[in-house]
Amino acid sequence: GENVEQHPSTLSVQEGDSAVIKCTYSDSASNYFPWYKQELGKGPQLIIDIRSNVGEKKDQRIAVTLNKTAKHFSLHITETQPEDSAVYFCAALGYSSASKIIFGSGTRLSIRP
Amino acid sequence: GAVVSQHPSRVICKSGTSVKIECRSLDFQATTMFWYRQFPKQSLMLMATSNEGSKATYEQGVEKDKFLINHASLTLSTLTVTSAHPEDSSFYICSAMEGRGYTEAFFGQGTRLTVV
């Protein structure tokens, strides 16, 4: 089955700087890669997603890149703000996972004022 | 995005009792619903997948007789934790998907279960 690895587990950046979180996946048939933001005591919220027919997608300060050959995908947050502090999860979904969204282990992002 | 409502948000129960958690898709028909469990500072662990009108598919190691899942309609799935024990205390999260794969999944706000 699908396995998703995520790094780093914790990340602290100065407000205004960029943050990058990286993930790798094992199932080459996976073709949908969402990113979720989870605040304390709440369910995950989708912040951006990318499909395998696209290499990059951007939404204001958030961008995601996908390298299908290497089975890597990354989240980039620019001009970080205090409200970006949360836990971020990457995920993958594909044929062999039978519609199941498999989550990475999460990254706790802290923005220093 | 679409809204998934999960209820209750918090519940405390005594050991040996059963607890039911509801997950509703408010503005779309959820062909597929998922139930996750999350321990503190850990990722979401998929417990089971349910399709409307059919039996849930449980992940390896999840006791189907303990975690009863019912997906009786396209807008409602329930998770019942039977004969709860303190080790069942956790954060339970549901999600709903309109199609069968490759579409966005919407998450509920989670239920904090504490078994005393």
Percent of chain A with pLDDT over 90: 79
Token pair listed for A22 = 């990286």
Q: Are A80 and A111 in contact (CB under 8 A)?
A: yes
Under the banding of pLDDT at 50, 70 and 90, the label for residue A17 is: very high
- B59–chain A nearest CA distance, Å: 10
Chain B residues 82-111 with a CB less than 8 Å from chain A: 93, 95, 97, 100-110
- Chain A positions in Cβ-Cβ contact with residue B6 (cut-off 8 Å): 43
What's residue A1's pLDDT? 74
Query: Using the beta-carbon criterion (under 8 Å), do A106 and B32 form an inter-chain contact?
Result: no
Residue range B89-113: mean pLDDT, rounded: 86
Is residue B102 predicted with pLDDT exceeding 70? no
A23 Cβ contact list (under 8 Å, min separation 6): A4, A5, A6, A7, A33, A72, A73, A74, A75, A90, A92, A104
What's residue B58's pLDDT? 94
**CA dihedral of residues A45, B42, A89, B93 (deg, nearest 10):** -30
B63 Cβ contact list (under 8 Å, min separation 6): none
What's residue A102's pLDDT? 87
Under the banding of pLDDT at 50, 70 and 90, the label for residue B72 is: confident
| Beta bridge mates, A57 | A64
What's residue A28's pLDDT? 87
Cis peptide before A8 (omega within 30 of 0): yes
Under the banding of pLDDT at 50, 70 and 90, the label for residue B99 is: low
- Tokens 């989240």 — which residue? A75
- A64-110 confidence digits (pLDDT tens): 999 999 999 999 999 999 999 999 999 998 655 566 788 999 999 99
- Tokens 């990059």 — which residue? A56
What's residue A95's pLDDT? 59
Q: Are B38 and B91 in contact (CB under 8 A)?
A: yes
Q: Where do the DSSP E strands lie in A8-113? A: 10-14, 19-25, 30-38, 45-51, 56-59, 62-67, 72-77, 86-94, 102-103, 107-112
What's residue A94's pLDDT? 67
Under the banding of pLDDT at 50, 70 and 90, the label for residue B97 is: confident
Q: Are B91 and B37 in contact (CB under 8 A)?
A: yes
Query: Does residue A21 sit at the B interface (CB-CB below 8 Å)?
Result: no
Under the banding of pLDDT at 50, 70 and 90, the label for residue B111 is: very high
Under the banding of pLDDT at 50, 70 and 90, the label for residue B55 is: confident
How far are the Cα atoms of A72, A81, A96, B19, B93 from residue B84, in angstroms, in the given order? 40, 41, 33, 8, 17
Q: Are A74 and A56 in contact (CB under 8 A)?
A: no
